[in-house]
Amino acid sequence: MNTAIQPAKEKKKIHPQKFMMWVAMGSMAMAFAGLTSGYLVRKAQDNWRYFELPLVFWGSTIAILLSSITMHLSVKAFKNREMPKFRSLISVTLILGILFGIMQYAGFYQLYHQLQHIRINGKVLNEMSTVRLDGNPSESFLFIIAGLHLAHLFGGIIALLIVFFRAFRTRVKTYNSTGLEIAASYWHFVDILWLYLFIFFLANQ
């Protein structure tokens, strides 16, 4: 009796661009883990300046959480070929992302000025003072972390802008969601990264 030969099922391979994105996100996560670990080690030593986390960071956290939800729903709408819904959701995601970026800048700007007024040895400097003291190590760690975070955030907003303009550029003929999924993965990474930093700063302010 003849038997039909069943073709071997091929293993589903991850897209090369997705793989590179996951590798990059893993490297970035390790970098932030190293910086925050160094932050804790240095904090245990002398001359550490504590700070209060600006309230604007709470608002920015809500904004990026909402943007992650709308980003997820936009990918789902695209795969279901619901283009009007997709365009609406990606527009809301972009607006929330820009709002998050503005509030992040405002928050770190407030932190910068907060740390400029109180320096090591408990000396307080007002804006008119001509005395210049060496920067506190807490400032160095804080703003290295902040700078890297804002750089990744800027990259995420650029990715959202690209997706936004592509959504409204022309009529979609092929529903290939690879690029959108890569952008969504990166934006979710920015979300998770900020949540990690936000909780870390709250616990160590």
For the chain, what are the domain ranges?
51-204
User: Reduced to 3 states, what is the DSSP secondary structure of residue 118?
Assistant: strand
> Each residue of 11-45: pLDDT tens digit?
566 666 676 777 777 888 888 888 888 888 777 76
150 vs 116 pLDDT, higher one: 150
For residue 83, what are the β-bridge partners?
none
Q: What is the pTM of this model?
A: 0.78
Query: Average pLDDT in the 117-129 region?
Result: 45
CATH of domain 51-204: 1.20.120.80
- The residue behind tokens 């709250």 is 202
Of the pLDDT bands very low, low, confident and very high (cuts 50, 70, 90), residue 66 is very high
Mean pLDDT along residues 89-115: 92
According to the model, what pLDDT value does residue 173 have?
Answer: 62
> What pLDDT is stored for residue 4 in this prediction?
46
Which residues are within 8 A (CB) of 48 and not within 5 positions of it... i.e. 6 or more apart? Answer: 42, 136, 137, 138
